[in-house]
Structure 1
Amino acid sequence: MTGTRRRGDALVRAILESALHELAETSFEELSFEKVAVRARTGKAALYRRWSTPEDLVLAALTDPVAGFGATPTPGTGSLRGDLLALLGGLARVLDEPHGRALLALITQRAKHPELFARVRALVLRPRQELILDLLTRAAERGEARPAAVTARIAAVGPRLVLVEHLEAGVVTATEVTTIVDEVLLPLIRR
């Protein structure tokens, strides 16, 4: 490594981004501290000081507010349709970024790593589902949604359709997101 040596947040950011790139391009089985260190242009010791396993590193990277998913803000467009379009459109866009591709890699490998996938589901996927459930609750209070439609299963439909579309087509366009919202979700939700 040439130039100024990175430390602190800059080093951690480089490591997290490198881990996501490695996972997105290969698989969890192929992910190693050595490969991540080489990509981040640092020594393996920098990784071992912070994370004890590749699983811990992946979870830190996926949940990081800058490199990974972090918290998703509530859209607040004023309508259920607008909020769903914003959330699902954001998910569709992020699937083309390193942390989204890394998430897809873990989803497709969930049978090989069920414990890791359960943690990813709890830390990355479930908070987004709960956000949609909250949107549905507020929409029901405004009269935009049937109260019976405020369920975890219905809240999961949109993100799952976006994920499946991306796995099948390799991309989810804005038109496809609109179709998911207008032809599937709103008929399920509305009075």
Structure 2
Amino acid sequence: MAAGPEVVRMNTSSKPRSRDTKEFKPRITPSRKTKILQVTFAKQVQRMVQVMHEEMGNPFLEETNDLLKLDNKDIVDQAVTTAVCQAVKIGQQQHDDFVTRLKDQSIPISQPIKKNKLSLFSRPPVRVKLQVSTLKSDVSLFSRLYIAASREMVTSVTFSDMKIRHVPHHVSQFGNLRSQGAVRSSCVP
């Protein structure tokens, strides 16, 4: 029998057990399991709120209408913001349609409901083409700069005067700003 390194490590690190010894394992009843899950959830929510207040400030005091991702603080697209704002309305409409369908018995209950194609927190596939074209233009620019520098036609002043993008890549991705409103105003002239 072949085993991977994880299995071998587990077998060698565990102490041998005899069949006579019985280890005491506390039995977790469903009510205790529910309480453990609730306590864990409460701790996770408290940690998330703490991170939000320490790193991002109070999100309810923001004066901007931008929607931020919590994990990387990117400002999401306008389509995502619109989808989040309309999610309740779309869900209510689907619920009403389903209840009507049950009352009228016009459509069988086994027929699936249409999938919502909301663009929530995902980038549209068009951006891949945009990213490839941006990378190609950067490669072209850097190759021209390298050739010019190797021929000693470009001075250090010329290099610093050249503008590669209209917004730096660490602040922008495809022209959409990625940071908070306060940081955005201090970074972009």
TM-score, with structure 1 as normaliser? 0.23
Q: Which has the larger radius of gyration?
A: 2
TM-score, with structure 2 as normaliser? 0.23
More helix by share: 1
